[in-house]
Chains A and B, each alone.
Chain A
Amino acid sequence: MEIDLQERDDVLLRRSAKGDEDAFAEIYRRYQARLYRFALRMTGSAWAAEEVVQDIFMTLVREPKKYDPQRGALGAFLYGIARNRVMKQLERAPRELPLEDSDGTCRTNSFATDPMTPAHWAELRERREQVRSAVLELPIEFREAIVLCELEEMSYEEAARVLDCPVGTIRSRLHRGRALLLAKLEMLREVPKRVNAGH
């Protein structure tokens, strides 16, 4: 069956609920990447993010009537499920650090193709790891705001819809999240300096 690219989510979901697999696949393709990235950035684990995405769409398969178009967009509904699943993942398992870089490529490959000097590349990679660790250590409500607004580059209004809270709350969470991030990064960067000074 043909799927119109502009077809509305609720129409697709209704078709999916009636057993139209193409409609379900279209919904999946529309949302899987952003939900996966959200889960990945919140949990720091590719495996957990995969589980989260699978759970989200299994909910759509099993209980499509849970979504009420009157109450908001399908995206916000799916992010709501994603947040619940992420919380459960975080409660269940300690954070697992991914073995690969967040861009999905092996470190040696990046190293081989990067035009910068190895020292510069190593410094950049270390900074990125520090930022990623600092983000993962933020309390969940601040982490959500940072992930959505800084990493996913959503507007405050979009983030407010996803997190189901006022825009003002997003602003204040971002403000506190940034302050915490700065403090954590300051600490992370101070420790090696102190270690070096001690030698």
Chain B
Amino acid sequence: MTCEEFAMAGLEIGPSTEDGPLRLAAREHLRNCPHCAALYENWQGLRDDLHALGVASRERETPHRVEVRLRQQFRVKHGTMRTRRTAAIAAWALAAAAVLVGVISWTSWRHQEAWNVAGRHKVSTARETAPSNSAPAEAISPAAMELGDVVVAANSGDFALLPGVIPPSLEDATVVHVQMQRSALTALGLTVNEEHGTDWIQVDLLVGDDGVPQAVRLPQSPD
């Protein structure tokens, strides 16, 4: 064993190291090299000192106050996390409730719309199938009321509001069948073709409870 080899490996050998070729070679080197022998002796002294230093501080522990502080921080951190989690859950619950209310409102509105359309369709169907002097409530189509046309189409079966008339209350209205000259419609505020002004026509008038005509209908002639 050379001095370099001894410095690298020989110093590791202690009194408790098992006998082996390395230990034997190191011993042999120590006997022949006073420099390495002195180094080894110094190293063993240092090793003992280090061991004593290690043993002396082996029982040292972190002061208890550190654990107390850490536990406090732990509680604060997880307390905050719990609060945040609760807030997040509450926010999500609120958002879900808002969405639910929105969906319910929309569904309800859609349902109402569908019901209205069905109601109109029902009124229209009833009007088409009912006799001309049937219930006045079913006689005026909403379309005719809304439009308020002053010109009555010859082939239109609807009541048309007369000019300046507010949509009447249908409960007290009465349908009156009259025969008149076409030109007489001008007295009701309607425009007529003057060429056929002398023609006699059949007209249905919707008369309100005050006796004033409010809407007019030209029943379709069979031809």
The answer to whether A and B come from one shared complex is yes
Residue among B50, B66, B67 making CB contact with A151, cutoff 8 Å: B50
- Which chain A residues in 50-101 approach chain B with CB under 8 Å? 50, 53-54, 57-58, 61-62, 101
CB proximity to A under 8 Å, residues B186-205: none
Asked if A61 contacts B77 (CB within 8 A), the reply is yes
- B53 with A102: CB separation less than 8 A: yes
> Which B38-80 residues sit within 8 Å CB-CB of chain A?
39, 42-43, 46-47, 49-54, 56-63, 66-67, 69-71, 73-75, 77-78
A40 interface residue per 8 A CB criterion: yes
In this assembly, does B94 line the interface, its C-beta being within 8 Å of a C-beta of chain A? Answer: no
Q: Mark A117-136, 1 if CB is under 8 A from B, else 0.
A: 00000001001100110010
Is residue A141 contacting chain B, with contact meaning CB distance below 8 A?
no
Interface residues of A in 130-162 (CB under 8 A from B): 131-132, 135, 146, 150-153
Q: How far is the CA of A182 from the CA of B67 in the complex (A)?
A: 38
Cα A25 to Cα B54 in complex, Å, equals 26
- Within the complex, the shortest CB–CB distance from B135 to chain A, in Å, comes to 73
B11 at the interface (CB under 8 A from A): yes
Partner of A102 from the list B47, B50, B56, B75 (CB cut-off 8 Å) is B56
Count of B interface residues, CB-CB < 8 Å: 34
Residues of A within 8 A of B47 (CB): 150
Closest to A105 in B: B56
Whether, in the assembled complex, B7 has its beta carbon less than 8 Å from a beta carbon of chain A, the answer is yes
Residues of chain A within 8 A (CB-CB) of B59 are 103-104
CB distance A128 to B49 under 8 Å? yes
The CA-CA distance from A33 to B66 in the complex, in Å, is 12
Residue in A closest to B42 when the chains form the complex, CB atoms = A182
> What 0/1 pattern do residues 65 to 103 of B give for CB contact below 8 A with A?
011011101110110011000000000000000000000
CB of A173 within 8 Å of the partner chain: no
**What are 25 sample pairs from A and B whose C-beta atoms fall under 8 A apart?**
A16-B74, A19-B81, A19-B82, A21-B75, A24-B70, A25-B71, A50-B66, A53-B66, A54-B66, A58-B73, A61-B73, A102-B56, A102-B60, A103-B57, A104-B60, A127-B49, A131-B50, A131-B53, A135-B50, A151-B53, A152-B54, A175-B7, A178-B43, A178-B46, A182-B39
Question: Closest 5 CB pairs between A and B?
Answer: A151-B54, A19-B78, A102-B57, A36-B62, A150-B50
B interface with A by C-beta (< 8 Å): 7-8, 11, 39, 42-43, 46-47, 49-54, 56-63, 66-67, 69-71, 73-75, 77-78, 81-82
